[in-house]
Amino acid sequence: MLRSVFLCVAVSVLVLPGGTANAQAFCGTEVCGPGQSCLNLHCVEKGSFACGTSVCRPGESCLNLRCVTKGSASCGTDVCKPGEICLNLRCVPGGSTACGSVICKPGDTCASGRCIPKGSSLCGGNVCRPGESCASGRCIPQGGTLCGTSICSSGESCLNLRCVTKGSTACGTNICKPGETCASGRCIPHGGTLCGTSICGSGESCLNLRCVTKGSTACGTDVCKPGETCQNLRCITKGSTAPPPAPPPVAPPPGGNLARGKPASASGAYTSNVASRGNDGDPATIWNGGTHQACWKVDLQGVQAVQRIVVSSQQFGAGGNKTVFQVSSSVDGASWTPVGPSYTAQGDKTFTIPANGARMRHVRYCTIAGSTQWATLGELQVY
């Protein structure tokens, strides 16, 4: 049995003071005011409409029985908002693109199933940025080159698997920089020369395996500088005369004492104690200088390589007297070199002074400051 259901809507008119009428409508148990309408027994905003069990407001639309913003679109079970697009049944920002199972954002491109920045390129497992190029699976800067495991910049070149300044050259296992040249596996400055184990500069030359000022000359084992000349195997100032070379050492006489009986002289002598008594082979005879500070010397009559000098002192007077002396040697009788330190003698005593093969022709014995008796010498022997 069919039943008819009638919905009675009572409209009441409310008269406001001043005579203005305000219409009201009943909607089920609700009373809808001005600007509202009745929908599904509910007062709703005018312009609203039903969408399944929902009520869509003005400015909305009904999609998949859901109220959504106007301009939205269906995407599988989802609804994409304005500005979004549907890709792989997913709502994504507009401008996105599908890349296999992934979605690339706006500004990305798809390469081999990977999203990479626009202008980039795929290089093996790497992504090269704009301005880079791909070499053997590696990204290198524009203008760069791959050099073994290194990357050379645009101002470099690859040499012996090393990145070097452009213009460099290989030199054995070394690399010569621009402005250098290669000589026997070594890098030398431009204009330089190799001299034994040394490197001579542009203002030098190589002489006897030594770097010397240009214009120098060899002189035996020595090198004379510009402005010098070589005489008797010695370098002297041009215009000067070199002294004659020293004579070779004279072989010692039998018996070994080079000083015995050789010409002796002294700065002075007291009575009969003359210079010859200082090297006559008898320590009991003495030379006496007649003063506290005096010198005695002997000429060996040839340059000798001397190993030691033996001095026998003679003491006289009170027991507290002492003699302080120094022995010196000379090749020419003009320039003297001390042989060992100074010595102090108190009482009769013998001193052995090492000479270590020093070359000499003249030997001098001098008493010096600190002596408290006159200069005396029992015997001076040279070996």
Spatial separation of the C-alpha atoms in residues 159 and 175, rounded to whole Å: 8
How far from chain centre, in Å, is Cα 29? 95
Threshold 0.75, pTM exceeds:
no
**Residue 310 DSSP code:** E
Location of structure tokens 């645009």: 154
Contacts of 213 (CB under 8 A, 6+ apart): 203, 204, 205, 225, 226
Question: Are 237 and 273 contained in the same domain?
Answer: no
Q: Confirm whether 52 is domain-assigned.
A: no
- Residues 225, 290, single domain; the answer is no
Q: Mark whether 282 and 377 lie in a shared domain.
A: yes
Domain enclosing residue 91, as ranges: 84-117
- Please tell me the distance from the alpha carbon of residue 48 to that of residue 131, in angstroms, as a whole number: 57
Domain count, the chain: 3
Q: In CATH, what number is assigned to the domain containing residue 272?
A: 2.60.120.260
CA end-to-end span of the chain: 163
313 within some domain: yes
- Check the CA dihedral 92-98-104-109 and report its sign: negative
> Are both 226 and 332 inside the same structural domain?
no
- Asked whether the beta carbons of 180 and 187 are under 8 A apart, the reply is yes
Q: What are phi and psi of 278, to 5 degrees?
A: -85, -10
pLDDT one digit per residue (tens) for the chain, 383 residues: 333 333 334 444 444 455 444 557 889 898 998 988 898 888 999 988 889 888 998 988 898 888 888 888 888 888 898 988 888 888 889 888 889 888 898 988 898 888 989 888 888 888 998 988 888 888 988 888 888 888 898 888 888 888 999 889 988 888 899 988 888 888 888 888 888 888 888 888 888 788 888 888 888 778 888 988 888 778 888 877 655 555 554 454 555 899 999 999 999 999 999 999 999 999 889 999 999 999 999 999 999 999 999 999 876 545 678 889 999 999 999 999 999 999 998 877 899 999 999 999 999 999 999 998 899 999 999 99
DSSP state of 245: P
